[in-house]
Structure 1
Amino acid sequence: MSDGDAGRAVEFVGPERVEVVPTEAPVPGPDEVVVDATVSAVSAGSELLAYRGELDPETVADEELPALDGDLSYPLRYGYAVVGSVTAVGDAIDPAWRGRTVFAFNPHETRFAVAPDALRPVPDGIDPETATLFANAETAVTLTLDAAPRIGERVAVFGEGVVGLLTTALLARSGAETVVAVEPKDRRRSLASEFGADAVVDPSRYGG
């Protein structure tokens, strides 16, 4: 994709209606870079809510992420886990940024301009698909720090989706004596064991 090319973006236009719309070619400001997206992860939680029309349209999208300004009314561009390469830099930006692989909290679109301080360089050896999990890993780290397990404590993680599995992996490396994963799906329980859970529990076996 050349620097003059326009791009495309995913747009939620109404309940159960999603379109791919054209976007103008981004031009970096003096303090910005342009990122060409390589891969963009879909959130099975919040994005399904947007798709179904179950988000409060008057809710602020995310006050801490400039790329998600405005509210959650339609039409809505959403998403927060994009990995791509820096293809252009503004006049005030170090040219060394060009060519870097970076992570961005940004909606699904092929190209976008952004300030470098909103990006996270992807370390060597981590592929773009794995790097899209940075946002989930950040949440897992926060949960683990908030739980603050003490040496010898027993900890349970309810739900072994992406964030649950990452949290389980981190807790398994903490001072907790036992980490128990509670999850009804066989595959996820198996993954929880691989990620370090000392025991797994199928809650459906104990239903009334």
Structure 2
Amino acid sequence: MDRAARAFWLRSPGHGEIRDVALQEPAAEDVLVRTLCSGISRGTETLVFRGGVPQSQHDAMRAPFQEGDFPGPVKYGYLNVGIVEQGPPQLLGRTVFCLYPHQTRYVVPASAVTVVPDSVPASRAVLAGTVETAVNALWDAAPMLGDRIAVVGAGMVGAGVAALLARYPAVRVQLVDADPARASVAEALGVEFALPQDAAGDCDLVVHASATEEGLARSLELLALEGTVLELSWYGDRRVSLPLGEAFHSRRLVVRSSQVGTVSPARGSRRTYADRLALALDLLADPAFDALVTGECAFDELPQVLPRLASGELPGLCHRVRYENVADPA
């Protein structure tokens, strides 16, 4: 039986469209998923939308179920929550998370979906990829009891890291951002907020996620002797400069990268990608994470909404996409 669905495609940088797509008939080991909601990863997806993926990173930046190639046409995205409509009995009717683009229905191997715990609403489960990134970052950073920590950049990933650090005992955590409006996000997550000029220094660890040169420079300034900046920002095709003169060497500072594409070496021998994602979904039982979703639109509105997200006209953190009442092609 022929099946069809609708998907959002980036036709060319800055221009998106909804396309009809054909679905293959699910094999015995596949699932057919009807999407309930998806999430726009504001940093990465808006960079893709602007055509900012460097040629050298085209392969590294491919999403698991991406179609097409950068800079476009390309179907890109990786925060999708839906209901299994066809598949193995143990998955039938279950709510699942999948690293799939914005599409009304899709067919993937059953091994590609993760069951969403009953304690996590589908509307919050779209944050699973963000929280998974935060989990991996903290496996890399290995914060210790009593540490003084700043998270510079209160976007999706930075706020997710701060939310997890709020659970650590006896740590001082500040969420630092140039936008005073992000203070309400920090309050909802249970951490302190500071503007960059007011942030507390002498930090053992600074997690940088602002994707700005100024934020990274300020992160270095906030470190104590022999402190570490864990860099989570991805700058795409932009170059950044750093003040690596002055006291950088005498203070024995460290700048270390972290990226979710690889399970942290600190856990890689004992945890799989599936383990990490399942942990992220379990953590999303905490309703505090709802503060990371700051906007919504209908699926059919994506071609008009993504340019506004990419330009900054629509500010905020995670933008959730709703799929109710979306009709598939006949």
Q: Same fold (TM over 0.5)?
A: yes
**Once the 2 structures are TM-superposed, how far is the Cα of residue 4 of structure 1 from its aligned partner?**
5.7
**Once the 2 structures are TM-superposed, how far is the Cα of residue 178 of structure 1 from its aligned partner?**
0.6
**Once the 2 structures are TM-superposed, how far is the Cα of residue 43 of structure 1 from its aligned partner?**
1.6
Distance 2:27 2:3 in 1: 17
Partner-residue secondary structure (3-state), 1:194? helix
Give the 3 Å change call, closer, same or farther, for CA 42–195 of structure 1 in structure 2.
Answer: same
Superposition pairs for residues 55-134 of structure 1, below 5 Å?
A: 55-57=53-55, 59-60=58-59, 62=61, 66-68=64-66, 71-89=69-87, 94-134=88-128
Task: Return the letter of the residue paired with 1:184.
Answer: A
Hey, which bits of structure 1, 4+ residues long, moved more than 2 A?
68-73, 204-207
**Once the 2 structures are TM-superposed, how far is the Cα of residue 205 of structure 1 from its aligned partner?**
6.3
For structure 1, the 5+ residue unaligned runs are: none
Task: Return the letter of the residue paired with 1:60.
Answer: D
Q: Which has the higher contact order (CA 8 A, sep 6+)?
A: 2
Partner-residue secondary structure (3-state), 1:98? coil
Give the paired residue count.
Answer: 199
Distance 2:163 2:198 in 1: 24
Give the 3 Å change call, closer, same or farther, for CA 178–205 of structure 1 in structure 2.
Answer: closer
Distance 1:68 1:195 in 2: 33
Q: Is the 8 A contact 2:33 2:106 kept in 1?
A: yes
Distance 1:18 1:69 in 2: 14
Describe the superposition over 1:40-71 as per-residue Cα deviations: whole angstroms up to 9, x where unpaired. Answer: 111211221222122235611556x5413664
- Aligned Cα RMSD in Å? 2.2
Match of 1:51 among 46, 49, 52: 49
Residue in 2 aligned with 1:203? 196
Describe the superposition over 1:11-30 as per-residue Cα deviations: whole angstroms up to 9, x where unpaired. Answer: 00112110100011331122
Match of 2:175 among 173, 178, 181: 181
Residue in 2 aligned with 1:19? 17
Distance 1:28 1:122 in 2: 21
Give the 3 Å change call, closer, same or farther, for CA 84–6 of structure 1 in structure 2.
Answer: same
**Once the 2 structures are TM-superposed, how far is the Cα of residue 152 of structure 1 from its aligned partner?**
1.4
Distance 1:202 1:159 in 2: 10
Partner-residue secondary structure (3-state), 1:123? coil
Question: In the alignment, is residue 149 of structure 1 matched against residue 149 of structure 2?
Answer: no
Q: Is the 8 A contact 1:81 1:103 kept in 2?
A: yes
Partner-residue secondary structure (3-state), 1:95? coil
Partner-residue secondary structure (3-state), 1:28? coil
Q: TM-score, normalised by structure 1?
A: 0.86
